Structure 1
Amino acid sequence: MSDVRHAVTKALEAGASQTTSIDSSLAACLRRGTACAVALSLLGLGTAATAQEQHQGHDAQAMTLEEITVTGSRIRRTTDFSTPNPTTVVDADFLDNLGIVNVGEAIAQLPANISNNTPTTTGNANFFAGSTIANLRGLNPFFGSRTLNLVNNRRFVPTNQGDGVDLNFIPKILIERMDVVTGGASAAYGSGAISGVTNIFLNRTLEGGRVEVDYGQTGESDGKDRHAGLAFGTRLFGDRAHLVVGYEWQDSDPVGCVNARDWCARSVGFIQNPDAATDPNAPDYLLRENVRANQISYTGVFHNSNPGATQTWQLNAAGTGVVPFNIGQGDSTSAFSTVVGGDGRSVHQYTNLRAPVEKDVATAVFTMDLTDAVRMSVDLSWGKVETLNRTGAVDTQFAWIAGDNAYVLQNPELQTVVGGGTFFNKDWTAQVDSYSLFSTEVKRAAIGFDGRIGDSSWTWDAYYQFGETDRLQYVNDNRHLNRFLMALDAVLDADGNVVCRVTRDGFAGAVANNPFGGYATANPALAEGCVPINAFGSGALPADAYDYAFGFLREDLKYRQQVVAANFSGDLWEGVGAGPFQAAFGLEFRREEGVNLAAEEVPLLERTDYLIQYGDSFAGDVDVTEAFLELNTPLLRGRPGASLLELNTAVRFSRYENQGGFGTTGLKRDHDMTTWKVSLVYDPVDWLRLRSTRSRDMRAANFRELYYGQKIQAGGVFGFCGPTGTFQTDPCNWSLEGNVELDPEKADTTTFGFVLTPRDWVPGLQFAVDYFHIEIEDAIQQASINRVLDGCRESQLQEFCDLIQWDGTTYDVDGRTYQGIDTVRALAFNGSGYKYEGIDFSGSYLWDLGDAGTLNFRLIATKMLQQKFQPTPGQPFVDIVGQTGTSNSFLSDNQPTADWVANLTATYLRGPFSLTGLLRYVDDGIMDYLGLTPDDPGYPNVPVGGSTMDVNRVPSYAVFGLSGSYRFENIGFLESLQIWAAVDNVFDKDPPIASGVGFGGGNGGTNPVFFDTMGRAFRLGIRTSF
């Protein structure tokens, strides 16, 4: 990753300153005492907290009840409480036993989380590359999050424009546990907790030291991953104070595709069916192996557009002549189609199966008892995460080479092939060094106080927290579309010098003399300073030509979050005989300020001519004032038919004040939100628990949704307003904007289920089932130019027509007259809805083998019943559940889920030895929820936006991992030394083909969200404590 550090330096020099418990085994859990009781109690499975059995050695150990705060509730309780919200707890033993060294890998083990932003899913990304972002239920919008992320019950500053948090910034070595609430929790924690909460608790009482060092790589000897961590804790000042410090480093290498995995080298994908044009019953797309890009090579191919053509010409390696090029079989007429076989490159040539990630994270926690009743704490953390993606996908250019091209005239053999002019398609990767860099730095600091009020049950805490994110995105060798085409259109001037046609003839003359040049709609100002490029050359481009046709794009986000909060919790009164009535209440003020800086030194005209584009500079802030109240009311306890009946209610009032800054309209908008929750727990007998929750949750618009700005000039890569479905271009200016008038999203969540703990008749068995239903209204959607154009032209809605500035011209298309457009604005808006429904299953069985040890089985599974969304407000809902293929649209706000996802773990523990197996299962599915095959009802009449295809099924998939460890005690100055090893995908199972059509080609023809693309991988490490 040294190239990442070099790239960071280069970017900066360019101006960048501008409840289910997933415990490793129940026996290991019981050894951990209180922390384990938390996990068991969340499931409703905890045994008596006063005398847990310690299975290693089979000794009884007394345990002291401890008050804790369970995620999903603000009321402090003893560990025999079971929350009505389904909650999964991942503890440190689970991570260690599976050989997991990164928090993101941990949450990926949960079937409820749809991991569409991880290093293995963003290897080709221009957004969020290398990040790991929690996405419970798959509900995150592309530029946002409906999963709230907390660390020690406190919000974490967002690490991107869309309020997501990269879990790479959480040090695994200090993790005590991670609570994952799969249900609405806005009443407890505020905006964003629609699909759930991840709450990561770090060890604040560590004594002694820990060191972790490990190394991993795949069975193909790539994907090298180095990881090390150090933590130390000690008491100070006569035991009145405590200090914990930790540092973690990880450096993982990228993994390619075609040259790295046999299944990727098969180059499986869809091609357009050449028979579909003449046979109405033939599917539009065919799934085939050895799929290749049509007529592309590193030297360049002279395009043959004749239907059924099998051969054309390409340049030889020296660029001095031509040699035959085998086109392959398929639709050869389109320059951007795919074919089977031939000499073109694989469609997965530039696929990266994993993005490289290098991270450094440091943490320090200092606590001190100021008095017997008041404690102070200071938290400091810093982290830096960097990723560099190399891709050549944007370096392919399809261009018209005119017969009078200067470099053609210099080579008689080329004159024969080019004739009066022909299209030329070339992969320029060998001549330019294209990559995208992502560098994020986070700083956090907090000071807090907590204590108890007198001798009462009431406790309090108050804190101030500061967080700051500095995130750089940088694209190197970003190619201009129109400038590059102008440079390729090289001619001889009157003196015989090679110049650009736009230089010799002027822009208008060049367009007239070479109408196929491809730059007719460009802004003429882009022609200034044009430097010709030899399309037939090799090696690095001349510096002046490179500076004209290529450049860099940068975006720097600076985001600051400040929080002041105070909370109180305690008993209100003794209650009605079932236990005390409890309450929690608090106040919180949060201020968030964001500044997004574009590469202003690159003029807008040039920035909007890039193939990869980011937004403009914009800023804004949000002030949030909140108050919450929660009541826990035990109604019955220890009665016949009612071992426990308990009601929990919560309400939160929030006021948001949004103010746009530079780059926005400057408008201000205030709005209020009220969220609430009603939960009921009923134990008819001591081995059965029934639980249910109904909640109203909300998500306020994030920084990008409120204040985003991007102006795109007419006739560039984008900037066209022609009628949908026609060839009319109508170049126009675009303005994509956020919207300070956005209302919060509203979600109604219902969960109900049961927990079985048949201790007397099936000791060690625990089982829970929970149904969930989430319905979202007024979901926030990204600005859409087509929505505005169609809303005005087709629906004649004035609210959309008011966003269009007409240029006074008209034109006719298919007998209809249209007005020409100068500028169109599109704003983020409250639009579609979501309806998600499913069932979570969890169970464990502990088998005590006596002196032979213990064996623990645990199953966690999710069955999705429906996953419906509205593509456009007012349209029918579409169900996308079961799509495990990759046919998503660009920047999609929807991540489909499988029908079934399940994890089964088995852990054997005997003394210092442990062995854990993990089986992950993904149900069979479909590639495209809008696709139909000849065997489907309704074929060939597909839904709007759909396609017909010969294959639309993805088989089920199961992968097995194995890990083991052995612990040595009291070795010299070490308290313990553990040697461990883990093997993922033990049987080296290839992922299934889960390709898509259009934008959804996937990673190497499969879907890394659900399927392992690394293959068999090994990791070996040591853990020590002293």
Structure 2
Amino acid sequence: MVKPFHATTLFALLAGAPMLLIPGHAFAQEAPVAAETPQEDIATDDAASEPAIVVTGTRISGFTAPTPVTTLGTEELEAKAVSTVSELLDDVPQLRINQNIGKSSEPVGGSNADLRGLGTQRTLVLLDGRRVAPTDPAGTIDTNIVPTALISNIEIVTGGASAAYGSDAVAGVVNFTLDKKFTGFKLDASYGQTRYDDHHRPSVSAAWGTSLFEDRLHVTVAGDYLHNDGQTSQASRPWGNDQTALLTNPAYTPTNGQPRLLIVDNSRFTQMTAGGVLVGGTAAQRATAFALAQRLGFAAGSGVQFDARGNPVPFAYGTNIGGTFMTGGDGASVEDDGNIMPEIERYTGYGSVRFDVTPNVTLFVDALYSQVDTLSDLTPNPDNGGITIRNDNAFLANSLRAAMAGAGLTSIAIGRMNYEDGYSIFDSSTKSRRVTFGVEGRFGGWSWDISGQIGRNSYFQRSDNNRINNRWTLGLDSVINPATGQPICRALLNNPNPTAAQDPYRDIRDCQPINPFGAGAISERAVDYYAGSSYLRSHQEQDVFAANLSGSPFATWAGDVKVAVGAEYRREQTVQTSDPNSALRRWRSVNAQPFTGEYNVKEAFAEVVIPLAQGSAFAENLDLNGALRYTDYSTSGGVVTWKVGVNYSPFADLRFRGTLSRDIRAPNNYELFSRGNQVINAIIDPRTNVSRQTVQITSGNPDLQPEKADTLTAGVIYQPSWLQGFRASVDYYSIKINQAISTIAPQGIVDFCNAGRTEFCAGVIRDPVTQILTQVNVIPFNADSLKTSGVDVELQYRFEMLGGSVKLRGLANYVSELSTTSNGVTNDYVGLAGISPPPAGVPEWRVNLDADYAIGDFKFGVGYRYIDGGKFDTRFNTTTLDLADNSVAGRSYVDLSAAYRLSKQFELYGRVENLFNVYPPITPNGITQPTVANGTFFDRRGTFFVVGGRLRL
């Protein structure tokens, strides 16, 4: 449902946000965000002193694009003391930086730009106006590869731009512009840490540039280094040490009015301990455990677990008993070690050479190398009730064997958290290599360029302490060898000399018996037998060759008509390989499948600006902007994208702008050709309301078709001549994507199927006899539509006060709708704070307020950011109440910054982020090791201090 826009709410937030700083609100801040339109739209006391800004919203220079553009300059980079661009982009209300903090199926640590919550693949990332190659096999781009030392500005087009820049620019464009004519030397070094002293971030960046041969040759080099030592224990935070989890409510029925799910503290595993415990996730399983406990002489209501010597002892159940979690009791918990952020180490090197062959012809070559290494950990290999023990098991206690015989049981099932395996370590490395070369020039008022770009990116991920399932199963099935009286694998006893055909991977010949009874009972030899490291390695290639021409062929009564034309050829290839065991799906998790995908794209475009009025009685300015692009994909054929835009100023202080465009995104290699990764996560079966560890297979879909988006933007800019330094803009946007390429989360697939949406049921695999959920297949598909709409607002005022200068700025984003429609069913994601993409829930409101004061050698800044709350999850609240309290409160954050210039060459600076150490809302996800604060917009790190210095020579 589309929500109404209330302008009074917006201006109350912008004008009165400081009043929100009252007890009961959470606090922190973000850095100032620069003007949202080209430089000529910004009122300053000395406009000539401001550097020129090249705007990404158009291919035509010297023209104010009708598409809204947010620009972040070096002033904002320095004010926030950022070490990566993702830290600054996180403050743009329309933009979210997605970072995986430890999901084994996704690249860990990558910071991916996501405009409008439409997904990272719909945000085109450019470096110096040229496309950046994917940095991982999924086709996303880690913004950490961009060198911060030379960034001159970051331009964010907050509307569709496919006609100007090609595929993927559905939600917009993020363009990083580097200063390739920098002269001199600069060094920036900083150190940051949390108030808890458990997260540290040293960072250094440097750049040097010089001109030779009477300024005809310019050479620039730069480098960055950053080490973020991460934080892998959420229990280090007061909000993260209560073992909070999302539980199924065993008392729920569709008609009794009780919630289906519970968010409660002191959550323990129902059927996992360090030493093993008999399964008890369902009432029938607990009845079996109770019966065996009574035969062992335990008190009524006790279950059965195993002590350090492997002897059966009583197991106390808690309340709210479900298939994975319960409240209280003797179960284990690994929640304290849930990740807040991964460890990241980053190196970036950049070089640029530009040579003026003539005053009007320049040769250039740029080279970029970046390496980003990340490290994250997850829980040791868990077995949530999936271990089958026969009555002749070599390690089974005689007392329990007798109890089983008395109960007529030939086997039992136990669950176990296998700490002997060690924590699962995910070590990944992203290497990016890019060379851009070409020639550019001017003649008779026209400019042209011919360029080539070679991108070679590689991604490697190793998963340590993974487990080969077949070996685990063989080792658990042990018996006593009658010849030696010692434990032996049953398979090896039955087949002591297997042939290569019977045992191609030496699973039987090398088998070591596994003792699952008691903490620490599994021997090192057994662990060496079944545990090891899996890996995936991918190589992404991108070749781009382009030619562009722009100029003015003629003039009208209102001024020069400007045109830009160009053509481009692009080749994209992804090759993924993995270890042999992964290719055969032998590991417990990930099991990356090798695949190769390649396509090429041929494009031609034209853009025109036609002035219709200039200084007339009815219009100070009126111009029309149009663009047309034809794109031919080798995988899906040709498609036409277009844009029509208008600028109209009835008088100098007021400008109206609007665009209407058709934008395109074709599926990438991963979406088309990937063969599937495997993970195991807890899935709540809505038929039984029981959570079970379930295999999930994610793969591509070669039948995907390109998605097409219709985008409308309309806005007004008011810059009154009677109030120098003030500027205000309001822009409405609406994006509707037809045949949207969508991937639904595994839990959503199961829930949608259960709700009667049959198109999802093909991905839900159940045991044909027991109907127990065993596997969920996740593939992308073309949904009916994906829509979003809302309003962006900016207020800015600069003035002099007490001998210094003041800059005030307010930015706001209001989201009216973010919804998917498939088979006539619509789901709205506005205000969802507890779920992950795609598409991700977004706040209804995000507001940024910044105030900066500079006097002499001092600079001071204070910022305020408000992130609206909403619902934990409303997707399935159609006929039942999923949560008793489904609300999530918003958060307010405050930051402080200061700088002092000791000399013309050296400046000291400092910054405090999240000054009041505001806690994030508690929104746990439903996996074995829950992330307690799962909302991606809220700060989990806590108060963060940064000190540093800048040297300029």
TM-score (norm 1): 0.80
Following superposition, the deviation at residue 338 of structure 1 comes to 1.6
Separation in 1, partners of 2:382, 2:441: 61
Is it true that 1:173 corresponds to 2:118 in the alignment? no
Residue of structure 2 equivalent to 1:348: 335
Is it true that 1:857 corresponds to 2:799 in the alignment? no
The one of 711, 719, 742 equivalent to 2:704 is 742
Is it true that 1:765 corresponds to 2:757 in the alignment? no
* Contact in 2 for aligned 1:780/1:832 (Cα 8 Å): no
* Contact in 2 for aligned 1:570/1:584 (Cα 8 Å): yes
Residue of structure 2 equivalent to 1:33: none
SS at match of 1:916: strand
SS at match of 2:252: coil
Report sequence identity in percent. 30
Residue of structure 2 equivalent to 1:374: 361
* Contact in 2 for aligned 1:381/1:445 (Cα 8 Å): yes
* Contact in 1 for aligned 2:829/2:841 (Cα 8 Å): yes
Following superposition, the deviation at residue 587 of structure 1 comes to 1.1
Residue of structure 1 equivalent to 2:741: 780
Deviations 1:807-857 (CA, angstroms, capped at 9, x unpaired)? xxx97899xxxxxx9x99997543331011111111112231151x12211
Is it true that 1:132 corresponds to 2:83 in the alignment? no
Following superposition, the deviation at residue 861 of structure 1 comes to 1.0
Change (3 A) 1:396 1:918: farther
Amino acid at match of 1:138: G
Alignment of 1:193-204 (within 5 A): 193-204=169-180
Is it true that 1:706 corresponds to 2:667 in the alignment? no
Comparing 904-913 with 546-555, greater Cα deviation is found at 546-555
Amino acid at match of 1:742: L
Residue of structure 1 equivalent to 2:437: 447
SS at match of 2:427: strand
Is it true that 1:834 corresponds to 2:747 in the alignment? no
Is it true that 1:949 corresponds to 2:931 in the alignment? no
* Contact in 1 for aligned 2:380/2:418 (Cα 8 Å): no
Deviations 1:420-479 (CA, angstroms, capped at 9, x unpaired)? 5544332213442421121111111111211111xx211111111111011112211112
Separation in 2, partners of 1:796, 1:579: 59
Following superposition, the deviation at residue 651 of structure 1 comes to 0.4
Separation in 2, partners of 1:925, 1:824: 29
Separation in 2, partners of 1:949, 1:198: 38
Structure 1 unaligned segments of length 5 or more: list them: 1-35, 55-60, 508-521, 659-669, 728-732, 815-820, 933-937, 971-975
Change (3 A) 1:369 1:290: same
Provide the aligned C-alpha RMSD in A. Answer: 3.8
Amino acid at match of 2:793: F
Following superposition, the deviation at residue 987 of structure 1 comes to 0.7
Alignment of 1:235-250 (within 5 A): 235-250=211-226
Following superposition, the deviation at residue 311 of structure 1 comes to 4.4
Residue of structure 1 equivalent to 2:799: 847
Residue of structure 2 equivalent to 1:1015: 942
Residue of structure 1 equivalent to 2:829: 880
Alignment of 1:165-244 (within 5 A): 165-244=141-220
Separation in 2, partners of 1:700, 1:643: 41
Separation in 1, partners of 2:875, 2:305: 38
Deviations 1:304-356 (CA, angstroms, capped at 9, x unpaired)? 5537986445444x43545554432221xx5x332222343446233100011
Is it true that 1:319 corresponds to 2:309 in the alignment? yes
* Contact in 2 for aligned 1:255/1:352 (Cα 8 Å): yes
Comparing 202-211 with 185-194, greater Cα deviation is found at 202-211
Deviations 1:285-311 (CA, angstroms, capped at 9, x unpaired)? 223222222243323334455379864
Alignment of 1:484-883 (within 5 A): 484-495=472-483, 496-504=485-493, 529-536=510-517, 539=520, 542=523, 544-576=525-557, 578-599=558-579, 601-602=580-581, 604=583, 607-658=584-635, 670-710=636-676, 738-760=700-722, 762-781=723-742, 828-851=780-803, 853-870=804-821, 873-883=822-832
The one of 983, 992, 996 equivalent to 2:912 is 983
Change (3 A) 1:827 1:950: closer
Deviations 1:546-596 (CA, angstroms, capped at 9, x unpaired)? 3442232211111111111111111121212x2211000111111122211
Change (3 A) 1:137 1:394: farther
Change (3 A) 1:450 1:995: same
Residue of structure 1 equivalent to 2:417: 427
Following superposition, the deviation at residue 250 of structure 1 comes to 0.6
Deviations 1:912-940 (CA, angstroms, capped at 9, x unpaired)? 211111211111200011354xxxxx7xx
The one of 344, 368, 371 equivalent to 1:384 is 371
Change (3 A) 1:322 1:445: same
Is it true that 1:1003 corresponds to 2:937 in the alignment? no
SS at match of 2:72: strand
* Contact in 1 for aligned 2:232/2:377 (Cα 8 Å): no
Amino acid at match of 2:656: L
Amino acid at match of 1:535: P
Separation in 2, partners of 1:678, 1:129: 40
The one of 403, 416, 431 equivalent to 2:391 is 403
Residue of structure 2 equivalent to 1:15: none
Residue of structure 2 equivalent to 1:915: 860
Following superposition, the deviation at residue 528 of structure 1 comes to 6.7
Residue of structure 2 equivalent to 1:469: 457
Separation in 2, partners of 1:528, 1:795: 48
Amino acid at match of 1:1022: G
Change (3 A) 1:843 1:1001: farther
Alignment of 1:925-940 (within 5 A): 925-930=870-875, 932=877
Residue of structure 2 equivalent to 1:101: 83
* Contact in 1 for aligned 2:36/2:69 (Cα 8 Å): no
Following superposition, the deviation at residue 774 of structure 1 comes to 0.4
Amino acid at match of 1:1018: F
The one of 330, 333, 344 equivalent to 2:320 is 330
* Contact in 2 for aligned 1:751/1:772 (Cα 8 Å): yes
Comparing 230-239 with 646-655, greater Cα deviation is found at 230-239
Following superposition, the deviation at residue 395 of structure 1 comes to 3.3
* Contact in 2 for aligned 1:183/1:194 (Cα 8 Å): yes
Separation in 1, partners of 2:659, 2:530: 59
Following superposition, the deviation at residue 163 of structure 1 comes to 2.5
Amino acid at match of 1:551: G
Separation in 1, partners of 2:93, 2:104: 24
Higher relative contact order (CA 8 A, sep 6+): 2
* Contact in 1 for aligned 2:391/2:401 (Cα 8 Å): no
Separation in 1, partners of 2:813, 2:696: 43
* Contact in 1 for aligned 2:537/2:578 (Cα 8 Å): yes
Amino acid at match of 1:134: A
Residue of structure 1 equivalent to 2:41: 45
Amino acid at match of 1:1015: G
Change (3 A) 1:300 1:542: closer
Structure 2 unaligned segments of length 5 or more: list them: 1-31, 291-299, 497-502, 690-694
Separation in 1, partners of 2:628, 2:701: 28
SS at match of 1:767: strand
Separation in 1, partners of 2:244, 2:301: 20
Change (3 A) 1:1012 1:795: closer
Is it true that 1:112 corresponds to 2:98 in the alignment? no
Count of residues in correspondence between the two structures:
884
* Contact in 1 for aligned 2:274/2:518 (Cα 8 Å): no
SS at match of 1:259: helix
TM-score (norm 2): 0.85
* Contact in 2 for aligned 1:994/1:1002 (Cα 8 Å): no
SS at match of 1:329: coil
* Contact in 2 for aligned 1:745/1:778 (Cα 8 Å): yes
Separation in 2, partners of 1:995, 1:741: 35
SS at match of 2:121: coil
Following superposition, the deviation at residue 614 of structure 1 comes to 3.7
Change (3 A) 1:829 1:523: farther
The one of 832, 848, 865 equivalent to 1:903 is 848
The one of 135, 141, 153 equivalent to 1:159 is 135
Change (3 A) 1:202 1:278: closer
SS at match of 2:144: helix
